[in-house]
Structure 1
Amino acid sequence: MAVSSHVRSNSFPSRQHPQAAHVDEQLTRLRSSEAASSSSICQRLSNLQDLHESLETLLRLPVKQQALSQKQIEKLLDGSIMILDLCNIAKDALSQMKEGLMEIQSILRRKRGDLSAEVKKYLASRKFLKKSFQKVLKSLKTGQNNEESLAVFGDAEAITISLFESLFSFMSGSKACAKWSLVSKMMSQNKAICEAEANEFTRMDSEFQSQKSLKVEDVQNLESCIEDIEDGIESLSKSLIKYRVSILNI
């Protein structure tokens, strides 16, 4: 007697496209990184540049283009222009600070000119920029919304905004250490903690306020830090523009 064979159909989940898997890996790496110093911020800017280049490649896949609705495309365009605006705000602020530092360096090298006046001008500019950063940070917190999930694209936008929040906070300086000078004579332990937490910007703010041991090398170090961040933002901007063009081409 013939035995009838019954073929069972197994349903396997569709495999993720290699490019989508690569983007997921990049997102995971960025989520686990912290931006607590200029070097880590620069590294995250570089990683974000790579991420947006990968997203741009992903957007060129027909299957991904077909999956995006008109509303989602518009949200991606809005998000990309907002991040480009953040890039421009950061670049303008860094350029303004660098210009002031160059003037101070010039006076220190020539040992001629009104150093006190130039430092006062730089610190006034820093104070204005800090207020601007706080406004930007406040607008970022109130402006974020999650009405509709955009999967990896939405995650990338959120992580990029998070980086700029870290960047603006980094350039503003630590709030905890800003009031250190009021208690420095009474609590030397607080001084050690704040010096450990301070970054290039806050350390130089303190140096400028005292002006007692101001060195050309210290000013150059801050200028170098600014230039590294500028380069990272410029590279990220270029990747974002390509990414935005790919969205517009859908």
Structure 2
Amino acid sequence: MAVSSHVRSNSFPSRQHPQAAHVDEQLTRLRSSEAATSSSICQRLSNLQDLHESLEKLLRLPVKQHALSQEHIERLLDGSIKILDLCNIARNGLSQMKESLKEVQSVLRRKRGDLSTEVKKYLASRKFLKKSFQKVLKNLKTGQSNEESLAVFGEAEAITIALFESLFTFMSGSKGCGKWLVVSKMMSQNKATCEAEANEFTRVDLEFQSEKSLKVEDVQILESCIEDLEDGIESLSKSLIKYRVSILNI
């Protein structure tokens, strides 16, 4: 009887490695979260940084390394460089906007200088960046591998790319609210509702199109939002680089 019991116990599936279980928990948390505001996007960027640090540790496990073929490794490398490219595009766009905002803030604080010129420069930059973001969104594909050995890594890549879709959409601002200025005799309550629902980028866009309502406080809020996003993207980039190095070392 003792031998029979021992044989049955060996037939049970092996327990999941604690690091793999931790990655699954992080993926579950990210699946259930949404990115609709600057604070939620920043939180997701932080969570994705933690996730890629955990994936990097998972890649160090011999059992995981043995399960990855050369083709798998190449796919992981392609995915990591794709996400790093998205980080660079977002970071460059945020940097451009921040520099333009500084010029506007300088005129507002000193109460001298050509405010209209600086506002036009910012809006022209925003228009160009919006087109760039829309092009990126159009080209993004969130497909993931169905192969079991890549399931966790493939899902992590898909969730990360989905976050960047939310980020670029957020940075582009609300299209619906942005059109209220070109509609003649727009009701004031509709304008107020739109401004209340607009994110930091859209709110400043609206104010810049009507310089009379331009407030330095809102410009400062947007600048702070941009800096928070920059910090989150920078931290995620560092984790992605470490993750990529671990893939290359296999």
Pair in the same fold by TM > 0.5: yes
CA contact (8 A) 1:98 1:226 kept: yes
SS in 2 for 1:238: helix
TM score, norm. by length of structure 1: 0.93
Higher helix share: 2
What percent identity do the matched residue pairs reach?
Answer: 83
Q: What is the CA-CA distance between 1:175 and the residue it aligns to?
A: 2.1
Relative to structure 1, the CA distance from residue 184 to residue 62 in structure 2 (aligned partners, 3 Å threshold; closer, same or farther) is farther
Aligned pairs for 1:156-167 within 5 A: 156-167=156-167
- Quick one: which amino acid aligns to residue 88 of structure 1? N
Residue of structure 2 equivalent to 1:133: 133
Cα displacement (A) at 1:183: 4.3
Letter in 2 for 1:174: S
Aligned amino acid, residue 236 of structure 1? L
> Any stretches of 5+ residues in structure 2 without a counterpart?
none
2:212 aligned with 1:221, yes or no? no
For residue 213 of structure 1, what is the amino acid of its counterpart? S
Are the aligned partners of 1:174 and 1:202 in contact in 2 as well (CA < 8 Å)? yes
The residue correspondences of 1:64-83 to structure 2 (distance < 5 A) are 64-83=64-83
Distance 2:220 2:186 in 1: 32
Aligned AA (1:219): V
Quickly say closer, same or farther: Cα 1:55–1:116, change in 2 above 3 A: same
Cross-structure match for 1:20? 20
TM-aligned CA distance change 1:125 to 1:5, over 3 Å:
closer
| Residue 7 of structure 1 pairs with residue 4 of structure 2 | yes
The alpha-carbon deviation at position 6 of structure 1 amounts to: 7.1
Counterpart of 2:4 in 1: which secondary structure? Answer: coil
Report how far residue 187 of structure 1 moved: 4.1
Could you tell me how far 1:218 is from its partner in structure 2?
1.5
Distance 1:145 1:16 in 2: 26
Q: C-alpha distance in 1, partners of 2:144/2:53?
A: 24
The more displaced of 196-205 and 94-103 is: 196-205
Task: Establish whether residue 44 from structure 1 lines up as the match of residue 44 from structure 2.
Answer: yes
* Paired residue secondary structure (1:15): coil
The structural deviation recorded for 1:214 is 1.6
1: CA distance between counterparts of 2:168 and 2:116? 27
CA–CA distance in structure 1, aligned partners of residues 2 and 244 of structure 2: 55
AA at the equivalent of 2:32:
S
Residue number in structure 1 paired with 2:86? 86
For residues 1-250 of structure 1, the aligned pairs below 5 Å read 7-8=4-5, 9-10=7-8, 11-141=11-141, 144-146=142-144, 148-149=146-147, 150-183=150-183, 185-188=185-188, 190-250=190-250
Question: Take 2:78 and 2:33, find their aligned partners in 1: how far apart are those partners?
Answer: 26
Separation in structure 1 between the aligned mates of residue 248 and residue 54 of structure 2, nearest angstrom: 17
1:56-97 CA distance string (max 9 Å, x none): 000000000001111111000000001000000001000000
Contact 2:180 2:186 (8 Å CA) reproduced: no
Q: What CA distance in whole angstroms lies between the structure 2 residues aligned with 1:160 and 1:53?
A: 13
User: TM-score under structure 2 normalisation?
Assistant: 0.93
Between 1:110-119 and 1:179-188, the stretch displaced more is: 179-188
CA contact 2:145–2:151 (8 Å) conserved in 1: no
Distance 2:32 2:144 in 1: 21
Q: 1:95 to 1:6 in 2, by over 3 A?
A: closer
Q: Pairwise CA RMSD of aligned residues?
A: 1.7
Q: For each residue in 1:26-65, what CA deviation from the matched residue of structure 2 results, as whole angstroms up to 9, or x when unmatched?
A: 0010111111100000000000000000000000000000
Q: Tell me how far apart the structure 2 counterparts of residues 48 and 17 of structure 1 sit (CA, whole Å).
A: 21
Q: Which moved more, 1:123-132 or 1:215-224?
A: 215-224
Separation in structure 1 between the aligned mates of residue 97 and residue 4 of structure 2, nearest angstrom: 72
CA distance in 2, matches of 1:168, 1:117: 26
**Aligned pairs, number:** 245
What CA distance in whole angstroms lies between the structure 1 residues aligned with 2:232 and 2:244? Answer: 18
